[in-house]
């Protein structure tokens, strides 16, 4: 696996990070510009809070884990200044989007803005010891926990109680977030959240008949034969499995680790497009027509999360099936998504594997999935090299 370590590390440091260093810093108004076309040119100046928080996290993580470069810390602090000044409403909830100057555009209807702001500031605290970052990360985390049963608040369009579904996204993100905030919220909080979340993901959302995980279930945990209840997002399942593998490793729980690998392999087989290659974005678990018109597209983050998952699966267990899938995914994804000409990865391919959009960043894609995955891939594979697997 040594060649892969070199390849993915080089991709991170030479092809991906320079792109964001060069094009995303808004020197005029602060924060980051994330709507970047293929060559890095700015095609829109709106600022989406998910991506502001995520870039703070990425730059802090690089400083912490890759190399203590002052420039990376400065970029993270540059983003933090902007979001702390403009990002919250009077209750401390985070807006979804701001305009370039920082004026609010879209209300705090989406709690993932809060999750990524908290995650970014917590990572920045780790490398700066600036208490303000820890305080806002902590306050935001508390609000997320308060709001978790109705995260959309008054913007929730579901009529109460006719069909009470619960979604897979929030427990997923909370498991990751609590770990990211362990140095701030303490290990007891993390451990009790982890207990709950492992149960939710691996038992409640998991469907034993199909071996898959659905995006939503009834409040009592039963299967819901509705558009939402039938929806499977294979990339999301696979991403969840490497979160769970990390928890299994933390707890030295071999049974949990084994179940994670089974589910991840099952989701890969299920999501793989036998005709054109790549992993579908959405499927209906009963094979009915999904609502999502983009269901057959191949998304960057899906393939990167799958690479991370297989790298981790192999590093934790030495399972050869994980290695084989890693190679297959690498073979499909690297040449299609990575853009050696201008840097970074394309985000959206059509079913046939050609770029559907030219953008490198937009409303949902920023400086996050590509660098996080590249780092985690080579970090995991390095351990296999060291262990001589």
Residues 6+ apart with CB under 8 A from 249: 257, 316
Distance in angstroms (rounded) separating the CA atoms of residues 120 and 386: 30
Q: Is 25 helix (H, G, I), strand (E, B) or coil?
A: strand
Q: Is 154 in the site for its own copies (CB under 8 A)?
A: yes
Least separation in angstroms between residue 22's CB and its own copies is 19
Give 97's strand partners.
48, 106
251 secondary structure, DSSP code: T
Structure tokens at 295: 């269901």
Site for its own copies in 305-334 (CB under 8 A): none
Q: Is 100 in the site for its own copies (CB under 8 A)?
A: no
Least separation in angstroms between residue 287's CB and its own copies is 9
CB 71 within 8 A of CB 25: no
Crossing angle of the two packed helices 49-61 and 369-387, in degrees rounded to 10: 30
Question: Residue from 169, 189, 210, 350 that binds its own copies (CB under 8 A)?
Answer: 350
Q: Is 37 helix (H, G, I), strand (E, B) or coil?
A: coil
Largest CA distance in the chain: 56
Distance in angstroms (rounded) separating the CA atoms of residues 202 and 21: 39
Give 47's strand partners.
98
Site for its own copies in 168-207 (CB under 8 A): none
Least separation in angstroms between residue 77's CB and its own copies is 26
Q: Is 162 in the site for its own copies (CB under 8 A)?
A: yes
Distance in angstroms (rounded) separating the CA atoms of residues 352 and 169: 28
Question: Residue from 106, 179, 385, 389 that binds its own copies (CB under 8 A)?
Answer: 106
Q: Is 113 in the site for its own copies (CB under 8 A)?
A: no
Question: Residue from 208, 289, 340, 388 that binds its own copies (CB under 8 A)?
Answer: 289
Question: Residue from 37, 64, 139, 273 that binds its own copies (CB under 8 A)?
Answer: 37
Between 98 and 181, whose beta carbon lies closer to its own copies?
Answer: 98
Contact range with its own copies by CB under 8 A, out of 215-223, 291-299, 312-320, 323-331 = 291-299
Q: Is 363 in the site for its own copies (CB under 8 A)?
A: yes
Q: Which residues here bind its own copies, judged by CB under 8 A? A: 37, 43-44, 46, 95-96, 99, 103-107, 109, 154-155, 157-159, 162-163, 226-227, 288-291, 293-297, 348, 350-351, 356-359, 362-363
């Amino acid at each position: 696996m040594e060649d892969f370590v070199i390849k993915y590390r080089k991709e991170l440091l030479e092809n991906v990070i320079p792109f964001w260093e060069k094009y995303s810093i808004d020197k005029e108004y602060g924060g980051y510009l994330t709507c970047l076309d293929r060559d890095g040119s700015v095609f829109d100046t709106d600022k989406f809070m998910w991506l502001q928080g995520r870039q703070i996290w990425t730059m802090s993580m690089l400083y912490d884990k890759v190399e203590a470069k002052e420039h990376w810390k400065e970029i993270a602090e540059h983003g933090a200044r902007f979001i702390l000044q403009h990002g919250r409403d009077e209750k401390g909830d985070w807006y979804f989007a701001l305009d370039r100057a920082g004026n609010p555009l879209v209300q705090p209807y989406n709690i993932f803005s809060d999750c990524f702001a908290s995650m970014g500031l917590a990572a920045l605290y780790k490398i700066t010891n600036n208490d303000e970052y820890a305080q806002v990360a902590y306050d935001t985390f508390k609000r997320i926990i308060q709001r978790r049963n109705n995260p959309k608040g008054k913007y929730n369009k579901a009529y109460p109680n006719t069909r009470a579904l619960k979604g897979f996204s929030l427990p997923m993100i909370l498991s990751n977030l609590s770990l990211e905030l362990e140095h701030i919220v303490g290990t007891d909080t993390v451990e009790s959240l982890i207990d709950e979340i492992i149960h939710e993901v691996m038992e409640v959302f998991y469907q034993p008949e199909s071996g898959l995980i659905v995006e939503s279930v009834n409040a009592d945990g039963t299967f819901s034969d509705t558009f939402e209840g039938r929806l499977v997002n294979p990339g999301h399942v696979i991403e969840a499995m490497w979160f769970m593998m990390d928890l299994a490793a933390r707890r030295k729980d071999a049974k949990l680790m084994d179940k994670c690998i089974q589910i991840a392999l099952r989701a890969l087989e299920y999501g793989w497009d036998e005709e054109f290659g790549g992993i579908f974005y959405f499927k209906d678990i009963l094979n009915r027509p999904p609502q999502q018109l983009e269901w057959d597209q191949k998304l960057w983050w899906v393939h990167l999360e799958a690479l991370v998952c297989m790298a981790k699966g192999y590093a934790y267990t030495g399972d050869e099936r994980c290695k084989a899938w890693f190679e297959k995914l690498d073979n499909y994804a690297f040449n299609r998504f990575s853009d050696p000409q201008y840097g970074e990865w394309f985000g959206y391919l059509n079913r046939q594997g050609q770029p559907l959009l030219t953008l490198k960043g937009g409303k949902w894609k920023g400086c996050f999935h590509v660098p996080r995955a590249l780092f985690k891939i080579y970090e995991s594979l390095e351990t296999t090299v060291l262990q001589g697997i």
